[in-house]
Structure 1
Amino acid sequence: MQTANAALNSHAAPSAALLRGTPLARSAPEASALGSFRRLAKDEEVFVEGDRAAFFYKVQSGAVRTFKLLSDGRRQIDAFHLPGDIFGIEPGEEHRFSAEAVGDATVISYRRSNLNAETKDAGDIPNEMIPAVLLSLVRAQNHMLLLGRKNAVEKIASFLLDLSGRTANTDQIDLPMSRTDIADHLGLTIETVSRSLTQLERQGTIELPAHRRCIVLRNKPALERLDM
Protein backbone atom coordinates (compact mmCIF):
# COMPACT_ATOMS: atom_id res chain seq x y z
CA MET A 1 0.00 0.00 0.00
CA GLN A 2 2.82 2.42 0.87
CA THR A 3 4.58 1.73 -2.44
CA ALA A 4 1.42 2.38 -4.44
CA ASN A 5 0.73 5.61 -2.57
CA ALA A 6 4.30 6.78 -3.05
CA ALA A 7 4.02 6.17 -6.79
CA LEU A 8 0.79 8.11 -6.90
CA ASN A 9 2.30 11.07 -5.06
CA SER A 10 5.22 11.18 -7.48
CA HIS A 11 2.84 11.58 -10.43
CA ALA A 12 0.48 14.01 -8.73
CA ALA A 13 2.71 16.50 -6.95
CA PRO A 14 0.79 19.58 -8.18
CA SER A 15 -2.30 18.37 -6.31
CA ALA A 16 -0.70 17.08 -3.12
CA ALA A 17 -3.48 18.62 -1.04
CA LEU A 18 -6.00 16.35 -2.70
CA LEU A 19 -3.89 13.28 -1.95
CA ARG A 20 -3.76 14.23 1.72
CA GLY A 21 -7.53 14.42 1.80
CA THR A 22 -7.57 18.13 2.65
CA PRO A 23 -9.98 20.61 1.06
CA LEU A 24 -8.67 22.11 -2.16
CA ALA A 25 -11.22 24.90 -2.50
CA ARG A 26 -9.56 28.13 -1.37
CA SER A 27 -12.81 29.98 -0.87
CA ALA A 28 -16.52 29.56 -1.31
CA PRO A 29 -16.76 32.02 -4.25
CA GLU A 30 -14.05 30.14 -6.18
CA ALA A 31 -15.65 26.79 -5.54
CA SER A 32 -19.08 28.05 -6.56
CA ALA A 33 -17.85 29.66 -9.79
CA LEU A 34 -18.27 26.35 -11.59
CA GLY A 35 -20.19 24.24 -9.07
CA SER A 36 -23.08 24.58 -6.67
CA PHE A 37 -23.22 23.81 -2.97
CA ARG A 38 -25.59 21.22 -1.60
CA ARG A 39 -26.23 20.56 2.08
CA LEU A 40 -27.09 16.99 3.02
CA ALA A 41 -28.68 15.48 6.11
CA LYS A 42 -27.60 12.14 7.56
CA ASP A 43 -28.28 9.28 5.10
CA GLU A 44 -29.53 11.67 2.41
CA GLU A 45 -28.86 10.46 -1.13
CA VAL A 46 -26.45 12.27 -3.44
CA PHE A 47 -27.21 9.94 -6.34
CA VAL A 48 -28.49 6.40 -6.86
CA GLU A 49 -27.03 3.59 -8.94
CA GLY A 50 -28.35 3.95 -12.47
CA ASP A 51 -28.85 7.72 -12.25
CA ARG A 52 -27.51 9.72 -15.17
CA ALA A 53 -23.95 10.79 -14.32
CA ALA A 54 -24.37 14.41 -15.33
CA PHE A 55 -22.45 15.67 -12.28
CA PHE A 56 -19.46 14.76 -10.17
CA TYR A 57 -18.92 15.96 -6.62
CA LYS A 58 -16.40 17.25 -4.10
CA VAL A 59 -16.85 16.89 -0.34
CA GLN A 60 -16.71 20.24 1.40
CA SER A 61 -17.55 19.02 4.92
CA GLY A 62 -18.65 15.79 6.56
CA ALA A 63 -18.33 12.44 4.82
CA VAL A 64 -20.03 10.54 1.98
CA ARG A 65 -20.15 6.79 1.39
CA THR A 66 -20.45 5.17 -2.02
CA PHE A 67 -21.95 1.70 -2.07
CA LYS A 68 -23.70 -1.00 -4.03
CA LEU A 69 -26.63 -3.13 -2.87
CA LEU A 70 -26.10 -6.79 -3.73
CA SER A 71 -28.83 -9.06 -5.06
CA ASP A 72 -29.30 -10.68 -1.63
CA GLY A 73 -29.84 -7.32 0.06
CA ARG A 74 -26.37 -6.95 1.53
CA ARG A 75 -24.58 -3.63 1.21
CA GLN A 76 -20.97 -3.30 0.06
CA ILE A 77 -19.48 0.11 0.80
CA ASP A 78 -16.93 0.92 -1.85
CA ALA A 79 -15.35 3.97 -0.21
CA PHE A 80 -15.71 6.78 2.29
CA HIS A 81 -15.12 10.25 0.88
CA LEU A 82 -13.81 12.92 3.26
CA PRO A 83 -13.40 16.71 2.88
CA GLY A 84 -11.40 17.47 -0.26
CA ASP A 85 -12.22 14.15 -1.95
CA ILE A 86 -13.78 14.10 -5.42
CA PHE A 87 -16.27 11.33 -6.19
CA GLY A 88 -18.92 10.35 -8.71
CA ILE A 89 -16.53 10.41 -11.68
CA GLU A 90 -17.81 7.83 -14.17
CA PRO A 91 -16.51 6.55 -17.53
CA GLY A 92 -20.05 6.01 -18.78
CA GLU A 93 -23.37 7.83 -18.72
CA GLU A 94 -24.74 6.24 -15.52
CA HIS A 95 -23.57 5.95 -11.93
CA ARG A 96 -22.45 2.43 -11.06
CA PHE A 97 -22.76 3.01 -7.30
CA SER A 98 -25.07 4.94 -4.99
CA ALA A 99 -23.83 7.74 -2.73
CA GLU A 100 -25.25 9.17 0.47
CA ALA A 101 -24.13 11.34 3.37
CA VAL A 102 -22.75 9.51 6.40
CA GLY A 103 -23.85 12.40 8.64
CA ASP A 104 -24.55 16.06 8.01
CA ALA A 105 -22.40 17.02 5.02
CA THR A 106 -21.87 19.60 2.33
CA VAL A 107 -20.82 18.75 -1.22
CA ILE A 108 -20.13 20.82 -4.31
CA SER A 109 -21.61 19.47 -7.53
CA TYR A 110 -19.92 20.13 -10.87
CA ARG A 111 -21.55 19.55 -14.23
CA ARG A 112 -19.43 17.21 -16.36
CA SER A 113 -20.26 19.06 -19.56
CA ASN A 114 -18.68 22.26 -18.21
CA LEU A 115 -15.25 20.69 -17.83
CA ASN A 116 -13.45 21.57 -21.03
CA ALA A 117 -10.44 23.62 -22.00
CA GLU A 118 -12.54 26.69 -22.75
CA THR A 119 -14.36 26.82 -19.40
CA LYS A 120 -13.69 30.09 -17.60
CA ASP A 121 -13.38 30.51 -13.84
CA ALA A 122 -12.91 26.77 -13.43
CA GLY A 123 -10.32 27.21 -10.69
CA ASP A 124 -8.20 24.16 -9.94
CA ILE A 125 -10.90 21.59 -10.65
CA PRO A 126 -9.68 20.50 -14.14
CA ASN A 127 -6.15 20.04 -12.76
CA GLU A 128 -7.51 17.97 -9.87
CA MET A 129 -9.32 15.47 -12.06
CA ILE A 130 -6.41 13.22 -13.05
CA PRO A 131 -4.99 12.97 -9.49
CA ALA A 132 -8.52 12.27 -8.23
CA VAL A 133 -8.98 9.42 -10.72
CA LEU A 134 -5.54 8.00 -9.90
CA LEU A 135 -6.24 8.20 -6.20
CA SER A 136 -9.56 6.39 -6.65
CA LEU A 137 -7.76 3.68 -8.59
CA VAL A 138 -5.12 3.18 -5.91
CA ARG A 139 -7.74 3.04 -3.17
CA ALA A 140 -9.82 0.56 -5.17
CA GLN A 141 -6.76 -1.67 -5.65
CA ASN A 142 -5.90 -1.48 -1.96
CA HIS A 143 -9.49 -2.25 -1.02
CA MET A 144 -9.53 -5.28 -3.32
CA LEU A 145 -6.34 -6.59 -1.68
CA LEU A 146 -7.77 -5.92 1.77
CA LEU A 147 -10.99 -7.82 1.07
CA GLY A 148 -9.28 -10.80 -0.53
CA ARG A 149 -6.10 -11.39 1.44
CA LYS A 150 -6.33 -9.97 4.96
CA ASN A 151 -7.88 -11.32 8.14
CA ALA A 152 -10.24 -9.27 10.30
CA VAL A 153 -7.63 -7.63 12.53
CA GLU A 154 -5.42 -6.80 9.53
CA LYS A 155 -8.41 -5.23 7.78
CA ILE A 156 -9.14 -3.03 10.78
CA ALA A 157 -5.46 -2.02 11.01
CA SER A 158 -5.38 -1.05 7.33
CA PHE A 159 -8.61 0.89 7.68
CA LEU A 160 -7.39 2.85 10.70
CA LEU A 161 -4.06 3.69 9.07
CA ASP A 162 -5.81 4.89 5.92
CA LEU A 163 -8.13 7.16 7.91
CA SER A 164 -5.21 8.41 9.98
CA GLY A 165 -3.38 9.47 6.84
CA ARG A 166 -6.41 11.41 5.62
CA THR A 167 -7.09 13.44 8.77
CA ALA A 168 -5.28 16.34 10.42
CA ASN A 169 -4.77 14.59 13.78
CA THR A 170 -3.01 11.39 12.80
CA ASP A 171 -2.96 9.90 16.32
CA GLN A 172 -6.66 10.30 17.07
CA ILE A 173 -9.43 9.40 14.66
CA ASP A 174 -12.93 10.78 15.11
CA LEU A 175 -14.88 8.29 13.06
CA PRO A 176 -17.63 9.87 10.95
CA MET A 177 -19.03 6.43 10.18
CA SER A 178 -20.67 3.75 12.35
CA ARG A 179 -19.30 0.29 13.04
CA THR A 180 -21.99 -1.06 10.74
CA ASP A 181 -20.55 1.12 7.96
CA ILE A 182 -17.05 -0.15 8.74
CA ALA A 183 -18.30 -3.74 8.63
CA ASP A 184 -19.97 -3.22 5.25
CA HIS A 185 -16.79 -1.63 3.91
CA LEU A 186 -14.44 -4.35 5.13
CA GLY A 187 -16.65 -7.35 4.39
CA LEU A 188 -17.07 -8.21 8.09
CA THR A 189 -19.91 -8.46 10.57
CA ILE A 190 -20.37 -5.71 13.15
CA GLU A 191 -19.56 -8.27 15.87
CA THR A 192 -16.23 -9.07 14.20
CA VAL A 193 -15.41 -5.36 13.92
CA SER A 194 -16.09 -4.89 17.63
CA ARG A 195 -14.04 -7.97 18.60
CA SER A 196 -11.12 -6.88 16.43
CA LEU A 197 -11.09 -3.37 17.91
CA THR A 198 -11.22 -4.84 21.42
CA GLN A 199 -8.32 -7.19 20.58
CA LEU A 200 -6.21 -4.28 19.34
CA GLU A 201 -7.04 -2.33 22.49
CA ARG A 202 -6.02 -5.22 24.76
CA GLN A 203 -2.72 -5.41 22.91
CA GLY A 204 -2.13 -1.71 23.61
CA THR A 205 -2.18 -0.85 19.91
CA ILE A 206 -5.20 1.44 20.11
CA GLU A 207 -7.36 3.02 22.80
CA LEU A 208 -11.16 3.15 22.67
CA PRO A 209 -12.33 6.07 24.81
CA ALA A 210 -15.87 6.19 26.20
CA HIS A 211 -16.86 8.13 23.08
CA ARG A 212 -17.41 5.22 20.68
CA ARG A 213 -16.65 7.25 17.55
CA CYS A 214 -13.13 8.13 18.76
CA ILE A 215 -10.08 5.86 18.39
CA VAL A 216 -6.59 6.75 19.65
CA LEU A 217 -3.66 5.11 17.86
CA ARG A 218 -1.18 4.16 20.59
CA ASN A 219 1.24 2.02 18.58
CA LYS A 220 1.33 2.86 14.89
CA PRO A 221 4.33 0.61 14.10
CA ALA A 222 2.30 -2.36 15.34
CA LEU A 223 -0.59 -1.35 13.08
CA GLU A 224 1.79 -0.93 10.15
CA ARG A 225 3.15 -4.45 10.67
CA LEU A 226 -0.42 -5.77 10.43
CA ASP A 227 -0.93 -3.69 7.29
CA MET A 228 2.00 -5.21 5.40
Structure 2
Amino acid sequence: MLVRTSAVCARPPAGMLSALAGGQIFSSEFRYRRGEEVFGEGEEAQYVYQILSGAARTYKLLPDGCRQINSFHLSGDMFGLENGASHRFTADAVVETNVSIMKRVSLLDAMTRYRTGPGSLLSLVTRNLVHAETHMLLLGRKTALEKVAAFLLEMDERLTHPAVLTLPMSRRDIADYLGVALETVSRTLSILKDEGLLQFYGPTQRRVVLLDREGLARLEAQG
Protein backbone atom coordinates (compact mmCIF):
# COMPACT_ATOMS: atom_id res chain seq x y z
CA MET A 1 0.00 0.00 0.00
CA LEU A 2 1.52 3.32 -1.04
CA VAL A 3 1.47 6.11 1.49
CA ARG A 4 -1.71 8.07 2.07
CA THR A 5 -0.04 10.84 4.04
CA SER A 6 2.39 13.56 3.08
CA ALA A 7 4.99 13.05 0.41
CA VAL A 8 7.96 15.22 1.27
CA CYS A 9 9.95 15.25 -1.94
CA ALA A 10 11.68 13.17 -4.56
CA ARG A 11 15.44 13.01 -4.13
CA PRO A 12 18.38 10.71 -4.71
CA PRO A 13 17.96 7.82 -2.25
CA ALA A 14 19.91 8.10 0.98
CA GLY A 15 22.11 5.64 2.82
CA MET A 16 21.78 1.99 1.96
CA LEU A 17 19.24 2.63 -0.78
CA SER A 18 21.77 4.81 -2.55
CA ALA A 19 24.44 2.11 -2.26
CA LEU A 20 22.10 -0.57 -3.59
CA ALA A 21 21.02 1.57 -6.51
CA GLY A 22 24.45 2.87 -7.37
CA GLY A 23 23.16 6.39 -6.73
CA GLN A 24 21.45 6.36 -10.10
CA ILE A 25 17.71 6.28 -9.36
CA PHE A 26 15.37 8.40 -7.31
CA SER A 27 13.28 7.66 -4.27
CA SER A 28 10.45 9.52 -2.61
CA GLU A 29 10.31 10.48 1.03
CA PHE A 30 7.05 9.95 2.90
CA ARG A 31 5.85 10.56 6.42
CA TYR A 32 3.56 8.14 8.27
CA ARG A 33 1.59 9.01 11.36
CA ARG A 34 1.83 6.81 14.43
CA GLY A 35 -0.09 3.57 13.82
CA GLU A 36 -0.60 4.25 10.11
CA GLU A 37 -0.27 1.23 7.83
CA VAL A 38 2.64 1.18 5.38
CA PHE A 39 1.54 -1.99 3.61
CA GLY A 40 -0.74 -4.92 4.32
CA GLU A 41 -0.15 -8.66 4.35
CA GLY A 42 -0.87 -10.12 0.92
CA GLU A 43 -0.54 -6.82 -0.93
CA GLU A 44 1.69 -6.61 -3.97
CA ALA A 45 5.29 -5.90 -2.96
CA GLN A 46 5.94 -2.93 -5.25
CA TYR A 47 8.22 -0.85 -3.07
CA VAL A 48 11.29 -1.09 -0.83
CA TYR A 49 11.46 1.08 2.29
CA GLN A 50 14.24 2.57 4.40
CA ILE A 51 13.65 4.21 7.77
CA LEU A 52 15.01 7.77 7.84
CA SER A 53 13.61 8.57 11.29
CA GLY A 54 11.17 6.88 13.62
CA ALA A 55 10.39 3.16 13.62
CA ALA A 56 8.11 0.60 11.96
CA ARG A 57 6.96 -2.87 12.93
CA THR A 58 5.99 -5.87 10.79
CA TYR A 59 3.48 -8.33 12.17
CA LYS A 60 0.82 -10.96 11.57
CA LEU A 61 -2.62 -11.21 13.14
CA LEU A 62 -3.08 -14.80 14.30
CA PRO A 63 -6.35 -16.76 13.98
CA ASP A 64 -7.10 -16.21 17.68
CA GLY A 65 -6.89 -12.44 17.19
CA CYS A 66 -3.48 -12.07 18.83
CA ARG A 67 -0.74 -10.08 17.12
CA GLN A 68 2.76 -11.49 16.63
CA ILE A 69 5.34 -8.82 15.84
CA ASN A 70 8.00 -10.20 13.57
CA SER A 71 10.46 -7.32 13.59
CA PHE A 72 11.06 -3.72 14.58
CA HIS A 73 12.69 -1.57 11.90
CA LEU A 74 14.76 1.33 13.24
CA SER A 75 16.59 4.25 11.66
CA GLY A 76 18.65 3.07 8.67
CA ASP A 77 16.89 -0.29 8.40
CA MET A 78 15.30 -1.45 5.17
CA PHE A 79 12.17 -3.56 4.86
CA GLY A 80 9.62 -4.67 2.30
CA LEU A 81 12.13 -6.42 0.00
CA GLU A 82 10.32 -9.74 -0.45
CA ASN A 83 11.44 -12.87 -2.28
CA GLY A 84 7.92 -13.24 -3.65
CA ALA A 85 5.35 -11.04 -5.33
CA SER A 86 3.41 -10.11 -2.18
CA HIS A 87 4.08 -9.02 1.39
CA ARG A 88 4.10 -11.76 4.03
CA PHE A 89 3.44 -9.32 6.90
CA THR A 90 1.62 -6.09 7.60
CA ALA A 91 3.79 -3.05 8.38
CA ASP A 92 2.86 0.12 10.20
CA ALA A 93 4.55 3.05 11.92
CA VAL A 94 5.33 2.70 15.63
CA VAL A 95 5.74 6.47 15.99
CA GLU A 96 5.68 9.29 13.44
CA THR A 97 8.10 7.92 10.88
CA ASN A 98 9.85 9.20 7.77
CA VAL A 99 10.79 6.65 5.13
CA SER A 100 12.53 6.66 1.79
CA ILE A 101 10.63 4.60 -0.79
CA MET A 102 11.90 3.16 -4.04
CA LYS A 103 10.18 0.94 -6.57
CA ARG A 104 11.42 -2.61 -6.16
CA VAL A 105 11.69 -3.19 -9.91
CA SER A 106 13.86 -0.07 -10.27
CA LEU A 107 16.08 -1.17 -7.41
CA LEU A 108 16.54 -4.69 -8.76
CA ASP A 109 17.23 -3.33 -12.24
CA ALA A 110 19.84 -0.92 -10.88
CA MET A 111 21.55 -3.70 -8.95
CA THR A 112 22.04 -5.69 -12.14
CA ARG A 113 23.72 -2.71 -13.81
CA TYR A 114 26.02 -1.39 -11.07
CA ARG A 115 28.85 -3.31 -9.51
CA THR A 116 28.11 -2.13 -5.97
CA GLY A 117 24.63 -3.65 -6.02
CA PRO A 118 25.19 -7.36 -5.33
CA GLY A 119 27.57 -6.81 -2.42
CA SER A 120 25.26 -4.25 -0.86
CA LEU A 121 22.29 -6.54 -1.35
CA LEU A 122 24.15 -9.36 0.39
CA SER A 123 24.87 -7.00 3.29
CA LEU A 124 21.19 -6.09 3.50
CA VAL A 125 19.99 -9.69 3.38
CA THR A 126 22.54 -10.69 6.01
CA ARG A 127 21.45 -7.87 8.28
CA ASN A 128 17.79 -8.88 7.99
CA LEU A 129 18.68 -12.52 8.59
CA VAL A 130 20.60 -11.57 11.74
CA HIS A 131 17.52 -9.73 13.04
CA ALA A 132 15.32 -12.72 12.24
CA GLU A 133 17.75 -15.15 13.87
CA THR A 134 18.00 -12.96 16.98
CA HIS A 135 14.21 -12.90 17.25
CA MET A 136 13.97 -16.66 16.83
CA LEU A 137 16.53 -17.23 19.60
CA LEU A 138 14.80 -14.68 21.79
CA LEU A 139 11.45 -16.47 21.47
CA GLY A 140 13.19 -19.67 22.55
CA ARG A 141 14.25 -18.23 25.91
CA LYS A 142 12.79 -20.10 28.87
CA THR A 143 11.80 -17.28 31.21
CA ALA A 144 10.40 -13.78 30.90
CA LEU A 145 13.51 -12.38 32.61
CA GLU A 146 15.72 -13.94 29.95
CA LYS A 147 13.48 -12.69 27.13
CA VAL A 148 13.26 -9.11 28.37
CA ALA A 149 17.01 -8.98 29.12
CA ALA A 150 17.77 -10.26 25.61
CA PHE A 151 15.37 -7.73 24.09
CA LEU A 152 16.96 -4.80 25.93
CA LEU A 153 20.44 -5.90 24.87
CA GLU A 154 19.26 -6.30 21.26
CA MET A 155 17.85 -2.76 21.20
CA ASP A 156 20.97 -1.44 22.95
CA GLU A 157 23.16 -3.04 20.27
CA ARG A 158 21.04 -1.81 17.37
CA LEU A 159 20.94 1.74 18.76
CA THR A 160 24.74 1.69 19.29
CA HIS A 161 24.80 1.63 23.10
CA PRO A 162 23.33 5.05 23.96
CA ALA A 163 23.62 6.50 27.45
CA VAL A 164 19.81 6.56 27.56
CA LEU A 165 18.03 3.84 25.59
CA THR A 166 14.93 5.40 24.02
CA LEU A 167 12.44 2.70 23.06
CA PRO A 168 9.94 3.85 20.42
CA MET A 169 7.71 0.84 21.02
CA SER A 170 5.17 0.40 23.81
CA ARG A 171 5.12 -2.38 26.38
CA ARG A 172 2.29 -3.96 24.39
CA ASP A 173 4.58 -3.99 21.35
CA ILE A 174 7.35 -5.57 23.39
CA ALA A 175 4.94 -8.22 24.69
CA ASP A 176 3.76 -9.06 21.16
CA TYR A 177 7.39 -9.27 20.01
CA LEU A 178 8.43 -11.55 22.88
CA GLY A 179 5.29 -13.69 22.83
CA VAL A 180 4.36 -12.96 26.45
CA ALA A 181 1.56 -11.09 28.25
CA LEU A 182 1.65 -7.31 28.70
CA GLU A 183 1.55 -7.76 32.47
CA THR A 184 4.57 -10.05 32.26
CA VAL A 185 6.63 -7.37 30.52
CA SER A 186 5.67 -4.74 33.10
CA ARG A 187 6.40 -7.07 36.02
CA THR A 188 9.74 -8.17 34.55
CA LEU A 189 10.92 -4.60 33.94
CA SER A 190 10.04 -3.78 37.55
CA ILE A 191 12.11 -6.77 38.73
CA LEU A 192 15.10 -5.67 36.65
CA LYS A 193 14.76 -2.16 38.08
CA ASP A 194 14.54 -3.46 41.66
CA GLU A 195 17.66 -5.58 41.07
CA GLY A 196 19.60 -2.50 39.99
CA LEU A 197 20.07 -3.57 36.37
CA LEU A 198 18.22 -0.59 34.87
CA GLN A 199 16.37 2.55 35.74
CA PHE A 200 13.69 4.54 33.97
CA TYR A 201 14.40 8.06 32.80
CA GLY A 202 11.39 10.36 32.56
CA PRO A 203 7.65 9.81 33.08
CA THR A 204 6.89 7.59 30.05
CA GLN A 205 9.25 4.75 31.08
CA ARG A 206 10.25 4.37 27.42
CA ARG A 207 13.62 5.92 28.20
CA VAL A 208 15.79 3.39 29.98
CA VAL A 209 19.28 3.58 31.43
CA LEU A 210 21.01 0.19 31.41
CA LEU A 211 22.99 0.27 34.65
CA ASP A 212 24.48 -3.22 34.38
CA ARG A 213 24.82 -4.58 30.86
CA GLU A 214 26.95 -7.45 32.13
CA GLY A 215 24.23 -8.43 34.55
CA LEU A 216 21.65 -8.39 31.76
CA ALA A 217 24.01 -10.47 29.62
CA ARG A 218 24.29 -13.06 32.41
CA LEU A 219 20.49 -13.28 32.58
CA GLU A 220 20.34 -13.64 28.79
CA ALA A 221 22.96 -16.39 28.86
CA GLN A 222 20.86 -18.50 31.20
CA GLY A 223 18.66 -19.44 28.25
Instruction: Give me the TM-score of the superposition, normalised by structure 2.
Output: 0.83
| Cα offset, 1:166, TM superposition | 1.6
CA separation of 1:198/1:140 partners in 2, compared to 1, >3 Å: closer, same or farther? same
Distance 2:59 2:159 in 1: 22
> Could you tell me which residue of structure 1 aligns to residue 58 of structure 2?
66
Contact 2:165 2:209 in 1 (8 A): yes
Aligned to 2:5: none
Aligned ranges 1:50-65 → 2 under 5 Å: 50-65=42-57
**8 A contact 1:152–1:193 mirrored in 2:** yes
1:195 to 176, 187, 192: 187
Query: Equivalents in 1 of 2:56, 2:23: separation in Å?
Result: 18
Within 5 Å, give how 1:18-29 maps onto structure 2.
24=16
Q: Bigger CA drift: 118-127 or 64-73? A: 118-127
SS of the aligned residue for 1:216 comes to strand
| Structure 2 residue 221 is matched with structure 1 residue 224 | no
Instruction: Name the CA shift for 1:196/1:124 in 2 (closer, same or farther; >3 Å).
Output: farther
What are the equivalent positions in structure 2 for 1:121-140 lying under 5 Å apart? 127-140=119-132
Deviation at 1:150, TM superposition (A): 3.1
With 160-169 and 62-71 compared, the bigger mean Cα shift is at: 160-169
Residue of structure 2 aligned with 1:81, choices 73, 98, 102: 73
- Residue 83 of structure 2 corresponds to residue 91 of structure 1: yes
- Matching of residue 183 in structure 1 with residue 171 in structure 2: no
1:41 aligns with 2:37: no
Q: How many residues align?
A: 203
| Residue in structure 2 matched with residue 213 of structure 1 by the alignment | 206
- Whichever residue aligns with residue 35 of structure 1, its letter is S
Q: 2:150 aligns with which of 149, 158, 170?
A: 158
State the distance in 1 between where 2:219 and 2:194 align: 15
Moved more, 132-141 or 50-59: 132-141
Q: Give the SS at the match of 1:115.
A: helix
**Which range moved further: 206-215 or 43-52?**
206-215
The ranges of structure 1 where at least 4 consecutive aligned residues each deviate by more than 2 angstroms after the TM superposition are: 23-26, 30-34, 115-129, 168-171
CA distance in 1, matches of 2:153, 2:29: 30
Residue 209 (structure 1) shift:
2.9
Deviation at 1:32, TM superposition (A): 9.6
Paired AA for residue 62 in structure 2: L
Q: 1:182 to 1:68 in 2, by over 3 A?
A: same
Q: Which runs of 5+ in 2 are unaligned?
A: 1-14
Offset from partner CA, 1:101-129 (integer Å, 9 cap, x none): 00100111111111246579989776532
SS in 1 for 2:159: coil
Structure 2: how far apart are the matches of 1:205 and 1:103? Answer: 27
Q: 1:124 to 1:84 in 2, by over 3 A?
A: farther
Q: Please, which runs of 5 or more residues in structure 1 have no aligned partner?
A: 1-22
How far does residue 149 in structure 1 lie from its aligned partner after superposition? Answer: 3.0
Match of 1:14 in 2: none
CA deviations over 1:75-95 (Å, ceiling 9, x no partner): 000011001001111110000
